[in-house]
Amino acid sequence: MIRAYPLAAFGFLLTFCTNATAEEKEPDRAWQEGYDPIVEGPYVYTSMRVPSDTHLKLSAIEDIPEQDPFVPHDPKIKAARDRLLNKTFPIIPRASLPKCLPLGNDYRSLSKLVIDNGVALKGNEWILLATDHEGFSRVHFCTTLGNADIIQQIFLGGCRHAPHSVNQLATLVSVENQVFQDTAWTLDKLNQLSPVIHARYGVQGRSGEKSNTRFAEAKQQIAYYETEPTIGENYQLLDYRVAFSNKLMTPPTQVSLATAITMNIGHPFVLDCGLHGTPHRNYFLILQSRMANQDSHNRLHPLVSLKKIDGIYAMPTKITPPQKADTPFVTHAYRANIRFLQDLRQKVEHHGKADGDAPFGNNDPKKRKIPLPPVRLTNLKDTKHYSTKDVVYDITPHLKHLGIPLFRDEWVYYNLTKNQLIIHGVPKLHTGILRYARMLSPTPRMMKIQAHIVEVDREGLSMPNWSLKAVSAANPKTLAKYSIPVRSGEKGTCGTITSRTTVKDPETGQTKEIDDYEFETEPTLTEDSKSIEMRFSIFTPPLGDSKRAITVISALAIPDGKPAIIELGHPNSATRTHLLILTADVITPDGSFYRDRFQPVE
């Protein structure tokens, strides 16, 4: 259902439909894959990713002038900003946090901010801003479903990676001639007339950009579908330019249409295409769309339904002073890159150099008290994290030299044999060292892009939310596969040359030939290396038994390691359809996945 809520300075907010679960359960953590359960309870616990400075932009904190980075800092300005910051967004100590929240983050209350923007927080409802060790932020809140809708709208507009890719599907159907019927066609009315499905067309594209899918047989184009979606306010409306043409084989009929409409995202729009064929039948194009939420980390997840706010979701009312037992030492091993020890050594050698040191001078490391190179541990015993045969170094003094506070009995080892970082200490120490380790590591600049085209069984008029599990259960037949590693911002191609175009330079008058390869892509990493903006084109040779060639030209955003499954449709079948499965993995120079770096070893 669509709900509307008034909000000062924002007008009326159209909120999305949410799904629900009737039972309470331990929530999925924010870094796990989100889901959309059906919400039935009056309260929800959820979270969404936001820019780290969003709360400052929406508050009076900007009334105090920023400090000039090129002059000495004024202590009065800094003190005034800190006072206002702590007054507006008070720090929440760990003992006062609900137990449903992830540990290792810094938390501030945003209650005053959202109340000033029209959210009616009452009783034990709460909203907190969490900032993790990498500087990324999430808003966690436990409140009513109506408040959750408004909170999402407040913060979504300022997100850097707001959803902007749209899955689109068009289904061509026909019914018996409806003589003199002036009807406001809906999918329900159409279903009452037993429509016959003739073809489907689909694509995924970015807001404001053109995308198209084409089918050809015997070098003759038999169908094309071109769209230009523009996402409207509050992610509810879609300004949609669409052009399509299809030459149906059974019976021989051609249906074409080009128009511009406004439709609701997530709701079908029925276009009357008029009478075609012999005998005359009334043809309709059913347009459906869905936000490609997998390209954004800003969606609400996890979404947990609650009958009341209690248990792990409630703010503690009785605060006990933290005891030493609350922060026990833990030992974990984390995956590291093969250059970690070398990067650490270089950082240690250059740390603490005086401003006047000549870059090529004879600087004496002893004057800067640089610790000796890491010492290899001897007399090792077999443990969970290393064996007697492993090469293990103690890097504790080197991290202390870099300013990381390690206390007595805390230590950090590097297992060179397994390329693992072993940390022993309180959880906060793990967080700090992993943050520093990521800063030491080279920034990822390379991806492995894969594309599969498969043909699967398909029924009905609905727009499925395809998953790999659903694809595997739909009698898939692989028609093509492409794979190419490529650096961010550069073009990668693979496959044979399917066509060649001669173009003329308007300034010099010289001509040159441009080759079209089977698969061409130009991906660009976002600043957090968790998603990829990608332009791509596919020009396949004749595929399968039908010898049908497929062309797809589009641009989209795709998360690291999570496939985007796009239904391309079928120009002449009601029971089969083509799917394009795109996967982008951020990789390191040694070929491993970047997302696995400094993750706990299972």
* Per-residue pLDDT reduced to its tens digit, 493-503: 998 888 887 87
Q: How far apart are CA 358 and CA 153, in angstroms?
A: 53
Q: How far apart are CA 43 and CA 149, in angstroms?
A: 12
Residue 404's pLDDT band (cuts 50, 70, 90): confident
Position 19 pLDDT exceeds 70: no
Residue 368's pLDDT band (cuts 50, 70, 90): low
Position 232 pLDDT exceeds 60: yes
Residue 567's pLDDT band (cuts 50, 70, 90): very high
Write down the pLDDT at residue 230: 93
Among 560, 549, 596, CA closest to 447 = 560
Give the mean pLDDT of 212-238: 89
Give the mean pLDDT of 296-302: 57
**Range in 71-85, 313-327, 516-530 with the lowest mean pLDDT:** 313-327
Q: Is 255 exposed, middle or buried (0-12, 13-18, 19+ CB in 10 A)?
A: buried
Percentage of the chain modeled with pLDDT above 70: 81
Position 362 pLDDT exceeds 60: no
The enclosing H or E element of 430 equals helix 427-440
Give the mean pLDDT of 94-110: 87
Condensed to tens digits (0 to 9), the pLDDT of residues 170-194 reads 999 999 987 777 788 889 999 999 9
**Range in 31-40, 52-61, 194-203 with the lowest mean pLDDT:** 31-40
Higher-confidence residue of 410 and 25: namely: 410
Among 569, 598, 571, 595, CA closest to 583 = 595
Higher-confidence residue of 284 and 20: namely: 284
Position 41 pLDDT exceeds 70: no
For residue 288, count other CB atoms closer than 10 A to its CB.
Answer: 20
Position 356 pLDDT exceeds 50: no
Write down the pLDDT at residue 485: 95
Among 267, 214, 266, 224, CA closest to 244 = 224
Write down the pLDDT at residue 580: 97
Q: DSSP letters along 321-351, please?
A: PPPGGGS--EEEEEE--TTHHHHHHHHHHHT
Among 327, 350, 332, 352, CA closest to 433 = 332
**Range in 60-74, 311-325, 538-552 with the lowest mean pLDDT:** 60-74
Give the mean pLDDT of 378-386: 90
Position 268 pLDDT exceeds 60: yes
Distance of CA 345 to the CA centre of its chain: 34
> Can you list the positions of beta strands (E) in 145-280?
165-176, 196-206, 211-217, 220-231, 237-249, 252-264, 269-276
For residue 586, count other CB atoms closer than 10 A to its CB.
Answer: 22
Q: How many helices (H) and strands (E) does the chain have?
A: 9, 28
Write down the pLDDT at residue 309: 92
Write down the pLDDT at residue 222: 92
Higher-confidence residue of 450 and 164: namely: 450
Write down the pLDDT at residue 302: 65
Condensed to tens digits (0 to 9), the pLDDT of residues 116-171 reads 888 989 989 999 999 876 667 889 999 998 888 888 878 876 565 566 889 999 99
Average per-residue pLDDT for the chain: 81
The amino acid that residue 252 corresponds to is P
Condensed to tens digits (0 to 9), the pLDDT of residues 60-75 reads 555 545 555 555 556 7
Q: Which of 21-25, 45-49, 79-83 has the highest mean pLDDT?
A: 45-49
Write down the pLDDT at residue 520: 95
Global pTM value: 0.73
**Range in 37-46, 355-364, 490-499, 549-558 with the lowest mean pLDDT:** 355-364
Q: How far apart are CA 79 and CA 101, in angstroms?
A: 30
